[in-house]
């Protein structure tokens, strides 16, 4: 699975929810599954609340969610939400499920939800996030299209990193510019380029396309560190 670049708090929350959904599906018993499903619902809900706050630029949306969301939309003269149909009806139902997990004393049997509850929560919240940004007249964030994050880390090691050497440049020449990934505390060389080469586009391409979780990108020129860019990627 391609590593996920986490660049906002909402993206972090969203991918947390995807992660525990994966754990729910991998769970070997109802106790673990129930724990992960409940955590998925509550975390996905927090991603929704904070996305509404951002889309409508109103940090008060949270407590009394429907009341404050309706108020924020009305104050801006935007299209009102219809809670009695469509996905927002499902949002209202999900809120009741979430309240049960957070604020109510549930019967023991209700503490073991099926993993399908997590699937439904992800689906409903994803659509609601898209719709609230649309209502606000804004483009919804790209991270809401992320569909999965891995569950438990496996025992397999990352695939070897391929190093690309530019034409006319020798890997043995110390007077070159080198792009390095830092993964698990180790440097992995991925590009060898002429000294002074502008590496900004290459750095962006590596972040977008890498299949290896890493913590930073370093650029050396003639053996001297000239740039270090920390990168927040799930699993690093």
Q: What is the pLDDT along the chain (236 residues), one digit of tens a residue?
A: 455 667 788 999 999 999 999 999 999 999 999 999 999 999 999 999 999 999 999 999 988 899 999 999 999 999 999 999 999 999 999 999 999 998 888 888 889 999 999 999 999 999 999 999 999 999 999 899 888 776 555 544 444 467 888 888 888 899 999 999 888 778 888 899 999 999 999 888 888 777 667 888 999 999 999 999 888 766 54
Tokens of 98: 């979430």
Question: How many Å apart are CA 43 and CA 227, to the nearest integer?
Answer: 36
- Residue 75, C-beta contacts closer than 8 angstroms, at least 6 positions apart: none
Please state the separation of Cα 123 from the chain's center in Å: 15
Closest CA to 60 of 88, 82, 69: 69
* pTM tops 0.85: no
Neighbouring residues of 188: CB distance < 8 A, sequence distance ≥ 6: 161, 180, 181, 182, 212, 214
| DSSP 8-state class, residue 115 | H
From CA 53, how far away is CA 6, in angstroms rounded? 19
Among 117, 126, 206, 125, which residue's Cα sits nearest to residue 161? 206
């Amino acid at each position: 699975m391609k590593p996920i670049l986490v660049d906002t708090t909402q993206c972090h929350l969203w991918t947390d929810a995807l992660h525990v959904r994966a754990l729910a599906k991998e769970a070997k018993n109802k106790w673990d599954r129930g724990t992960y499903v409940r955590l998925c619902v509550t975390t996905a809900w927090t991603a929704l609340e904070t996305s509404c706050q951002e889309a409508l630029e109103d940090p008060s949306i949270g407590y009394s969610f429907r009341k404050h969301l309706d108020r924020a939309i009305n104050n801006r003269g935007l299209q009102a939400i219809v809670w009695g149909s469509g996905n927002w009806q499902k949002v209202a139902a999900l809120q009741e499920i979430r309240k049960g997990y957070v604020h109510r004393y549930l019967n023991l049997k209700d503490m073991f939800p099926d993993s399908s509850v997590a699937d439904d929560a992800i689906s409903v919240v994803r659509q609601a996030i898209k719709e609230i940004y649309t209502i606000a007249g804004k483009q919804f964030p790209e991270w809401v299209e992320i569909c999965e994050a891995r569950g438990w880390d496996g025992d397999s090691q990352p695939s070897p990193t391929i190093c690309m050497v530019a034409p006319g440049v020798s890997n043995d020449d110390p007077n070159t510019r080198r792009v390095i990934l830092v993964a698990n505390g180790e440097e992995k060389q991925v590009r060898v380029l002429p000294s002074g080469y502008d590496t900004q586009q290459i750095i962006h391409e590596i972040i977008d396309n890498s299949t290896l979780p890493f913590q930073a990108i370093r650029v050396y020129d003639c053996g001297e560190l000239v740039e270090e860019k920390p990168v927040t990627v799930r699993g690093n």
